[in-house]
Structures are given as structure tokens and as C-alpha cells.
Amino acid sequence: SLVNDILRTGDIIKLEKLSYKAFQKLFGKSVGKRAPGMFVSHLRSKAERAGGKVVEIPTVLTKLSQTCQCGRVKKKKLSERIHQCACGVVAQRDLYSALLAKHTEPDTFVLQVSQLVDDWQSTELRLQAAWRTATEIKPATGRIRPSSFGRCPEVERVAAEVLARIPKSQDVVGVSRESGRGYSRSPEGSDSGS
């Protein structure tokens, strides 16, 4: 189960303290079907039975999704899925928040900036790899990335380069351009309807 997978990663599990009632107002019945509150409760009890603990980090104090390791705090809309700071840090917002949570003191909720900066060089590539993996189409299942996860700029660049190399003659699927259904190709290979 997912709870066991999470517990295999360590004995101190850090989560953002969230209001599941607010989730219900925003997302309706889908929250009830997925039961995040029950999941966290199950995770906590299993962690405690195994000698670990679950620490819920208050978002009001830490603002993990708005904070950068350089110290800047920038409020973001929920739809902004990429953390991009003027200092040069670019990461998927949820993955970066998880990294910040990892470096948050569990008792005081203070961000350990020096540890975070030291860890960033080795972690940055792993975060990018996780982001890339999550945003690629999964061939076995046919699933695509969750829309809430944001697009990995590197994947977008590579995909554009690959598509540019495909000869027009291999583009055999014609779709119409009507009401957001895509583009059809004219016999010469240029977009029609432009």
C-alpha cells in the first residue's frame, strides 16, 4: 500500500498541515472519494506503531510553496505549479516544497537554510529527474502527467525538438481545427485554417 511505501522512506514523515474541509469546498466529492484525512490518520498510526512519527508542518508559519532557499518569499496562485526564483532556482512546486519540508526543524518549524543550500546541489538533479518522470506519458498505462503537476521545461524543449524532426509525411493522423480539436494538415503539409 502507499502508506507502507511512504514508511519505507524513513521514520520521520513530514507533511504540510492542511485543511481537508477547505479541500472539500474547493474540489467537492472527489476529496471524499480519496479521503486524504483518513489517509494521514492511517499513516500516522502505522508510523507510530513502527516507532516513527508524522510531523505536520503549519503552512501559515512556513509558507513552503512560497519560499525559496535564497530567502525570498513570493505568494503564488494555486495554478502556478513551477517554483521559479530570480536567484535561478527552478523546480516543480510540490517537489521543491517537499525538499524545504525535509530541511524544516520538526519541533520549531524553522527552515535549516545552510543544510538546504548544501543539499541543493545533489538534490537538484534528482528533483528534475522526478519531475521529468512524472510529466512523461506512461506507455504501459497510457496515462499522462497530472495537470496539477506542471510541465518540465526540459521535457517540453526536447519534445519540441523531436517533433520538429518528424517528417510531415509521417504525420498521418488528421484532425479538424474546429472548437479546440486540434489542427488538420493540408495536402502540402502546412496548417489549414490559418
Q: Are 31 and 24 in contact (CB under 8 A)?
A: yes
Q: Are 80 and 132 in contact (CB under 8 A)?
A: no
Task: Report the pLDDT value the prediction gives residue 66, as an integer from 0 to 100.
Answer: 94
Task: Report the pLDDT value the prediction gives residue 146, as an integer from 0 to 100.
Answer: 57
pTM assigned to the model:
0.68
Closest CA relative to residue 44, chosen from 69, 23, 68, 15 = 15
Task: Return d(Cα 131, Cα 127) in angstroms, integer.
Answer: 6
Task: Return d(Cα 27, Cα 126) in angstroms, integer.
Answer: 31
Largest CA distance in the chain: 67
Task: Report the pLDDT value the prediction gives residue 29, as an integer from 0 to 100.
Answer: 77
* Sign of CA pseudo-dihedral 84, 87, 91, 94: negative
Q: All 3 cell numbers of residue 183?
A: 489542427
* Residues of the chain predicted below pLDDT 50: 158-159, 162-163, 166-194
